[in-house]
Every structure is written in C-alpha cells, then in structure tokens.
Chain A
Amino acid sequence: MPTLGLITGYWFDIRDLSNLSRKIYELLGDAGAPDWLIWVLSALLGTLGIISFIGAVAIVNIWVERRVVGRMQSRLGPNRLGPFGLLQPVADAIKLMQKEVLQPASAPGLIFSAAPILFTVPGIALMAVLPWGRNMTLADLDVGVLYILGMSSLAALSVFMAGYSSNSKYSLFGAMRVIAMLVSYEIPIVVALLGVVLFAGTMNLQGIVLFQETYWAPMVLLQPLAFLVYFFSVSAELNRTPADIAEAESEIVGGYHTEYSGMKFGLFYAAELINAVAVSAIIATLFLGGWWMYKLDELVPGWMIYIGKIYAVYFLFVWTRGTLPRFRIDQLLNFAWKWLTPMALINVIVVAAEVLVWEESGWSAGFFVPLYIAINNLLAGALVVLFVRVLAPKFQRFPVRPRFAPEIDVPSLPAPPLMGEPRTDLPASGAYPI
C-alpha cells in the first residue's frame, strides 16, 4: 500500500497538494508510463485544478460582492434564494444561459463572437504562474512578472474588438476609453512592479515569495509606494467602479458590451470577476507574501493561507467599489500621468539606491530590512501627504466649467410653459437650430 502524502504519510495530507500529484507521477513512472504521458497528465491535472478554482470563484464572488456592497450601502443584497441568498448566482447563470443571444445585423460576426471568448483568456492564463504552495506552481516561469504584464496587456485588444464590432457609438466610446486608459496605466503598473523585482532580485513569483519568507518581511512593508501605485492602477485597469468609465452606465449605456446579451454578456461579466481575483492573487503574491505567513504556514496548508490573502485583497477592491464615486476620464488620465507615474519613478530610483547600498556594504539583512521598511514607509507617507496638500488640483465646490470641453454656443430657447398653460412659445417649424 503506497503512501501518497510525503509529510505525514497519510493520503489525506493536504498541506501541500503538490506532494500528492508528485506521488501520482512517481507511481505512473513505476508502472511504466512514457514520459510524455506523465507530462500531459500533470499539465491537465494542474489546469483542471486552476479551472475548477476559477469556476467556483466566478460563481461565489458574485454573491460575495453583492452582499458586501449591499452591507456597505445599507442594503440587503440577494437574500431570497437558498440560505443567505447563496443560490442567487446559480439562478443568474441559468437565466443568462437561457437568454436569446442577439447580434446587431451590421456586426462582423466572427470578431463580435470571438471578443468575449478572447476576453476571458488572459485572466485564466494569468493563474498558471501563481504559486499556490511551496512547490505548487503549474508553470514555474523565470519571467513570471513579465508574463503577468504581457497577459494583462492582451485584454485591451479584445475589448477593442467588442467595441468596434458592435457597430454602436456607445460601444466604440467605451472601447476607446478603455484603450486610452490602458495605455496610460500600463506605465505605472510596470514601473511599480519593477521596484518589487529589484528588491527580490528575481522575476519568478515563487522566488519573490521565498525572498519575503527569507527576510520575514512582506513586500507591502518594504514597498508601500509600489503597493499603492499598483493597487490604484490595477483597479483602473480592471474597470471596477471608481474607474469604470469604460462601461459607465449613466453615460454610455454599457460601454463596450452594450450590444451583447445572453451568455456572451455573461462571459464579459465572469471575466471581470476572474480578472479581479487574478489581480488580487498577484497582489497577494507580490506584496503580501503568497503562501508564506511567518510561522503559520507550517501549521496550515499554504494554499489556504494564499486563498485567504486573495480574498483579503479582493475585499479591498469590493470596498473601493462600494464607497467611491466614478471618476471622469480626464481625472483618471491626469491621476495616472501626474501622480502615479512620478511616484512609481521616484520609488524605482530609491529602491535601486537601497539595493545597491545593501549589496555593496555587505552588512547583514537584519540591519537593512527594518531600516528600509522605516525609510520607505516614511517616504510613501510624505509623498502622499505632499500630493494631497500641494500638488493635487484644488477642490472646487462650484466648478467654473469642465476642463477639456470647448465652449459651445448653446442656443437659448424660451422657457417652456408650466403645465396646463397653452404652448405659445414654439417658433415656426425649422426655427430650431438643432
């Protein structure tokens, strides 16, 4: 009777699921299975695990998000179907699948249909490099951080495909807004992650977690500025409410998915949830230490700690969504170029100097890590206060006029009569300049 768990010898040992899978491969190898079969099986097994996690998350998070936002806004949220309304997302999914899928007659069919499918790909592909435990990574890429950036930059194109092929002006507005935003926010994201990579000395996600484990310092303490910049930029890239100008319901109907219905719309909806979880997982890995939690990861399975951290970050995203009003597009772009980008650049310069001093001096990490935590937190606090007090645009209670909008000569029409009075104000037909 072979034992599957390597740590305790019990088959139900779930501290590190990779032990289980490794044992399966060893058994297969002993049974004489060829190498390629084991390789294909391991790839399928890992992918299956990740896909099932994504499926569970896409269903559960709808409920989580609606309930939490409901509580924040003094509402109830879904509470009718099942205990605590837990079956509501299932009902929603079934409803979406039953709905008729409409397509504008003038839409190019292939691009229109491919866009929602392509939109779900990056969020799922991102999950491949995440470290779920000490040895639990599906693809242990050396260039993990770059892979994340590359995958998330692919989403822009599918959003554009959706907006363009819908052949509707609201969809195109939404798509152009997304692209303008992504082009601006890519820079602070890359530069903020550069600070993390400089400190850890590797782009491998597992390596970054091991760095935090070695020095007992989550990256959010060492890199508070990078965390702030990354969090703000990524919540803009995710299209969530403080920055959801791409689908601003009160301005442009539904943005790039105005014309989508049925399960095609459902795919867009699910992909946004999946992206939010993927980004939460990236923040949990890079800034909060992934599966590592001081000594706790010796008692609790690493992937449980990791999922806990993912949901802690996800709560932050739901929090901002539930409390902040939507920005205008000029505010968002100004925020990216005039605050986030300079902050990220300052952060990179400071980090480069710190890493150089650390490496050249040869003193112990026990001296440098607390020192750098103090320096970087003070710097981040000082820069945020400086921005709020000095550099930010002054608060206008009565804005004179919207910036960037040229003056238009609005034709002054006579005021319409009150209800019940005869309308005598209408000029002859054709007099209106519109």
Chain B
Amino acid sequence: MIADNGIVIAFWVLAATTVGCALMVAAVRELIQAVLFLALTFVGVAGIYIVLSADFVAVVQVLIYAGAVAVLMTFAVMLTPSADRRNSETAFQAPALVLAGMITAIIVFVAYDTDWPIADRAGFPATAASLGRAFLKPYVVPFEVASVLLMTAMIGAILLTKEEEEDEHA
C-alpha cells in the first residue's frame, strides 16, 4: 500500500531514472557507455526495491548486479576485438523495435490485468532472517540444486578456458 507522498515521489523519480537509463543503454552508440548506463539501471532497480522495503534484495541487487555483473560486462567489452568501433545501423532495427514493442505490450497488459495482492505488513521487517530460514528449511532442495548448477557452470568455464598443458619445463 503506497500511502506516503514521499514514497510516491521517490518511486516516480526512481522509475524515471531506471527507464531512462534503460532506454539510453539501447540508444548510445558506444558499448562502454551502454554498460555504464546499465549499471545505473541496476542501481535504480535497487532503489525501487528499497521503496518496496525489501532491504535484503536491494542490497544484493547492488552487490551482484551493479558491483559484479557490470564489472564482468566491462571485462567482456574490453575482450571484444572490435569494441571500440561504434555500433552502426543494421537492417534488423525495424523488426527488433516491433519485437520489443510487443514484449512491452505483453508485460503492460499482464501488469494491468493481474489482481495483485497487497501486503499489509509494516515497512522493513527482518527480511534477511526470514529469507535465510526459507532457503535452509522448506526450500533447501532447490537451493542446493541451484548451488550444484552454479558449481557445474564454474567448473565448466574453467575447463573451457584451460589451456593445454605445455611440457616445456614440467
């Protein structure tokens, strides 16, 4: 329930920042600038989580997305051979716009059509403790499966990037 004026203002400012930065990600020509705008988008989403009084998710959003994912993306951009060349016009612009418009329409329709439940709890309960309890008690199997999946992905990445052993000095 959004009752407070300040929260409404905060929500609209954050929403405008987030959407504006997301648009800039698609609009700017230079890849590094796009990554930086993406990091700003992540921070804006974290702000919206704070407005929803989900402090744990907000902080994790900053830690994982703005901190780690953005850095990994800069790594990827730096390792791309022609990253310094600006993006040129492509023939796929029109179909991509149509596809993006359709996805937006679907999301907007679903958001308006769904009967969202409204939480009647007060702001900022201890979300971290209840999340931890949920992960380790009722949802322990999915949690462990996800961990094993991530572990597999990590080992796979190491195997893929491992160079052949050179026997020059053994």
Contacts and interface: CB of A to CB of B under 8 A. Distances in A.
B70 A147 contact: no
A60 interface: no
Interface residues on B, range: 20 to 34
A161 B74 CA distance: 10
Contacts of B78: 176
Contacts of A161: 36
A143 interface: yes
A111 B37 CA distance: 11
Contacts of B72: 183
A157 B74 contact: yes
Contacts of B55: 141-143
B128 interface: yes
Given A36-B6, A146-B63, A182-B71, A157 B56 contact: no
A154 B66 CA distance: 7
26 contacts: A36-B6, A108-B30, A111-B33, A111-B36, A141-B55, A142-B127, A142-B128, A150-B59, A150-B60, A150-B66, A151-B62, A153-B63, A153-B71, A154-B62, A154-B66, A154-B67, A157-B36, A157-B39, A157-B74, A160-B74, A164-B32, A164-B74, A179-B75, A182-B71, A186-B67, A203-B128
B126 interface: yes
Interface string A167-183: 00000000010010011
A350 interface: no
B135 interface: no
A149 interface: yes
Contact of B71 (A142, A146, A160): A160
B140 to A, nearest CB: 15
Interface residues on A, range: 20 to 34
Main secondary structure on chain A at its contact with chain B?
helix
Q: Top 9 nearest A-B pairs by Cβ distance?
A: A153-B67, A150-B63, A150-B62, A146-B59, A143-B59, A150-B59, A147-B59, A156-B71, A143-B128
A406 to B, nearest CB: 10
B56 A143 contact: yes
B143 interface: no
Interface in B23-41: 30, 32-33, 36, 39
B170 to A, nearest CB: 13
Interface string B105-148: 00000000000000000001011110000000000000000000
B149 interface: no
B10 interface: no
A186 B68 CA distance: 9
B158 to A, nearest CB: 11
Contacts of B75: 179
B127 A157 contact: no
A151 B36 CA distance: 16
A179 B59 contact: no
B87 to A, nearest CB: 16
Contacts of A164: 32, 74
B36 A146 contact: no
Interface in A363-386: none
B71 A157 contact: yes
A108 B34 CA distance: 14
Interface in A334-352: none
Nearest to A149: B63
A315 to B, nearest CB: 29
A156 B124 contact: no
A222 to B, nearest CB: 21
Contacts of A203: 128
